[in-house]
A and B are shown apart, each in its own frame.
Chain A
């Protein structure tokens, strides 16, 4: 009798164990905390309320657009050519010299350690029932790749518990296993990303077009990417695919 109750309790706890999905947003350069949060809120509004989803920003701080952040991207793009090596991340202490940005083959972005720290603050230490989807815009994609690499290769984070989705990505890859048909959206008329193609290994090929650009560079997450019905639907469906996979739930997009 006692064993039957115990068995029933174990079965019930398995039945009712509910996975949690943590969706993080990493912003690009030249973004204030309020704007990063506004971007996240717009992404969040694509999905109906769900108790099992927690949304958060991993804030990619701006250190000065011209004198620092653009060089940070250049440094990251140049360093893309090397194989990622987590030991470098741990020992690397990025400085702000031109020498660093242009010639240091081990360069990692100056905010990586802070972004890793923010992730650890907001993601449970016991990740058996927790999953992370990291959505990034612009330079955030470079950090998302580095964060994935740091967590999976450096800390043994299970790779089937984390996925990346890129928006307007200047990176040459999206780290992780591409489970679904697309893991990024980049518009062929996004002028910022098109300019970044001359750096490093270039950027992932464009796979969408924004019909009506509101921003002169056609790069704004809210007005350009989410302002386009078809792209908004791709992003919503992609989030939905991970909800289906990890929460057995699917939003209406």
Chain B
């Protein structure tokens, strides 16, 4: 009788722990637009900030998608490193689209939204440190002419 009670108690404890852990990560991820895999508020910000389907829009969408993947889904260094490299290209496309700091400001706003709570910010830095503190990441060497083609096609890989 006591054994059975202990087993039931352990099961309840396990279920509670799992139930607590899962919503916690879900809470960090937030409410996603399932077409783009980007948080709804971030997608709204992008759509309101730049013309839809323009080169900067494509770059911002890619950056937001990649950040979501990096911080909540990436499992290996090579996966994480690949999205940072893509974001690096997308970021350079953003810079190319504007003569001033607007590209950087748009990017920075998305970054700030990604880490808009202390929990999220802690999570982002813990993932970044886990993947990149020891090995860093590669900054792809791209000529301006190549970059122009990549930006136009929206292929940042």
Contact = CB atoms under 8 A, between A and B. Distances in A.
Interface of A: 32-35, 37-38, 40-42, 45, 48-49, 54-59, 61-64, 111, 114, 117-118, 121-122, 214, 222-223, 226-227
B104 A38 contact: yes
8 contacts: A32-B128, A34-B91, A37-B84, A38-B108, A41-B139, A45-B95, A56-B139, A117-B135
B17 to A, nearest CB: 24
Given A41-B92, A42-B95, A57 B104 contact: no
B91 A38 contact: yes
A62 B138 contact: no
A196 to B, nearest CB: 21
A118 B101 contact: no
Interface string B49-90: 000000000000001000100000000000000001001100
B143 A57 contact: no
Nearest to A60: B133
Nearest to A54: B141
B114 to A, nearest CB: 8
A45 to B, nearest CB: 6
Interface of B: 63, 67, 84, 87-88, 91-92, 95, 101, 104-105, 107-108, 111, 115, 122, 124-125, 128-129, 131-139, 141, 143-144
A214 to B, nearest CB: 8
Given A56-B139, A121-B136, A223-B104, A62 B128 contact: yes
Given A56-B139, A57-B139, A64-B125, A34 B104 contact: no
Main secondary structure of the interface of B (DSSP, over half): helix
Contact of B91 (A41, A61, A64, A226): A41
Contact of B108 (A35, A49, A55, A121): A35
Given A61-B132, A222-B104, A34 B111 contact: yes
Contact of A49 (B87, B131, B133, B144): B144
B139 A55 contact: yes
Given A37-B91, A118-B135, 20 more contacts: A33-B132, A37-B84, A37-B87, A37-B88, A38-B108, A41-B92, A45-B92, A48-B144, A56-B136, A57-B139, A58-B136, A59-B133, A59-B137, A63-B129, A117-B134, A118-B136, A121-B135, A222-B104, A226-B101, A227-B101
A73 to B, nearest CB: 16
A64 B127 CA distance: 12
A114 B134 contact: yes
Nearest to B141: A54
Interface centre among A38, A57, A122, A227, by most B CB within 10 Å? A38
Contacts of B108: 35, 38, 222
Nearest to A58: B136
A163 to B, nearest CB: 19
A94 to B, nearest CB: 13
Contacts of B137: 33, 37, 57, 59
Contact of A223 (B105, B128, B132): B105
B130 to A, nearest CB: 9
The 10 A-B pairs of least Cβ separation, nearest first, read A61-B133, A118-B136, A61-B129, A62-B125, A37-B88, A59-B136, A222-B104, A114-B133, A38-B91, A59-B132
B92 to A, nearest CB: 5
A98 B134 CA distance: 24
B67 A34 contact: yes
B97 to A, nearest CB: 12
B106 to A, nearest CB: 11
Nearest to A224: B101
Contact of A55 (B84, B125, B134, B141): B141
Interface centre among A32, A33, A35, A226, by most B CB within 10 Å? A33
